[in-house]
């Protein structure tokens, strides 16, 4: 434990010593006004003004950068009434991959199709500005039911009993980005301030507007993942006659801000790439395209603000990975996992070696989470 300022405490659960640039970023965050507690997860890595893999608590101020632009990004997992042997041969895997391209686009619904009608939970709520409402009626509808790029993915997996599971990682798509950019610009422009670590008063009009828009984006991201689950379930039903098991659903997000009680106080807890891990709370922690993933329940560690890692965390930036990892290395690392090998060059920055060792990450946070299930990847689908 180390005091970052007279009022801010930093706690860390690490796989290795922090790189200098990550340490400086955490120090700046801990020294920011009204920051009371910072918890650094073992998957921490540099990303903008606030690192991914950090949970932070304030009493009054809200920091959009400590939530990130992909508001509500998270994980969903569900089991199928089928064995992992369903994907034992290349022909079956190819049919699944082709079906995923058709049913779950990466960027927007395909030309010639009507934009999606948003679920009832999303339509009645008005966002805080006409500009955001335009984004909602345009991007919000055209991107609903889509995956996104980067580290977002759909994966079919086998658990220790060879049961078939689906795992999805995706967020609020362009809506989260638009909401974050709108509120940062509005907060900074009047005084000509920098966008770095802009803070909003949670009780003021700007803070209330941001929090309402965040709540909408979190719901959008959740409904988007559920729509993709339905699309994949429909695909597997049509191809193999198998069905999903709704009672097995695990669903959570790792980019949000919300009011929680810690240390006997009501605090605004920001999580950017940090999973909520309250006592007995179920969650999903992915590895990478070629490594294990885990279903967990939280241990409710107070010093971690009831949080854990949200994944393995990057060991190499995308630029570094693209330079260091060749196509043949990626193929070796993904041996035994079905994927679209036409995308090998593009996927080099998502290679398993671009990420930290997920088993080391899980060991580093043994007092934050309890593993309930380990899964191995069978088929990985990433958007193009």
| Contact between 315 and 355 (Cβ < 8 Å) | yes
Alpha-carbon distances of 92 from 55, 89, 97, 165, 363, rounded to whole Å: 41, 6, 9, 16, 35
Catalytic residues: 310
Tokens in use for 283? 């969650």
Reference 89, options 297, 338, 314; nearest CA is 338
């Amino acid at each position: 434990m180390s005091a970052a300022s007279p009022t801010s405490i930093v706690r860390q659960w690490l796989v290795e010593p922090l790189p200098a640039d990550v340490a400086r970023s955490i120090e700046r965050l801990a020294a920011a006004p009204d920051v009371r507690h910072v918890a650094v997860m073992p998957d921490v890595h540099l990303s903008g003004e606030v690192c991914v893999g950090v949970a932070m608590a304030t009493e009054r101020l809200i920091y959009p950068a400590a939530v990130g632009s992909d508001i509500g990004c998270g994980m969903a997992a569900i089991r199928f009434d089928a064995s992992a042997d369903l994907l034992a041969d290349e022909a079956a895997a190819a049919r699944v991959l082709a079906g995923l391209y058709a049913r779950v686009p990466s960027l927007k619904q395909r030309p010639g199709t009507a934009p999606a009608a948003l679920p009832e939970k999303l339509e009645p709520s008005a966002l805080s500005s006409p500009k955001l409402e335009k984004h909602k009626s345009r991007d919000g509808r055209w991107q609903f039911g889509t995956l996104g790029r980067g580290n977002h993915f759909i994966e079919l997996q086998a658990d220790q009993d060879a049961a078939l599971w689906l795992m999805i990682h995706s967020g609020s798509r362009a809506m989260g980005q638009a909401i974050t950019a709108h509120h940062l610009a509005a907060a900074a422009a009047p005084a000509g301030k920098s966008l770095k670590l802009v803070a909003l008063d949670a009780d003021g009009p700007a803070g209330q507007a941001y929090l309402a828009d965040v709540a909408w984006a979190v719901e959008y991201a959740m409904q988007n993942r559920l729509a993709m689950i339905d699309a994949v379930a429909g695909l597997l039903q049509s191809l193999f006659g198998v069905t999903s098991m709704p009672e097995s659903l695990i669903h959570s997000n790792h980019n949000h801000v919300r009011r929680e009680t810690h240390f006997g106080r009501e605090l605004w807890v920001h999580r950017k790439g940090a999973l909520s891990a309250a006592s007995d709370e179920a969650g999903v922690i992915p590895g990478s395209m070629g490594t294990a993933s885990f279903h967990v329940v939280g241990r409710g560690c107070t010093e971690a603000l009831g949080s854990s890692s949200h994944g393995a965390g990057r060991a190499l930036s995308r630029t570094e990975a693209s330079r260091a990892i060749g196509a043949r290395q990626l193929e070796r690392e993904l041996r035994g996992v079905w994927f679209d090998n036409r995308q090998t060059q593009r996927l080099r920055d998502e290679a398993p070696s671009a990420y930290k060792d997920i088993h080391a990450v899980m060991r580093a946070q043994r007092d934050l989470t309890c593993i309930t299930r380990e899964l191995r990847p069978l088929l990985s689908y990433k958007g193009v």
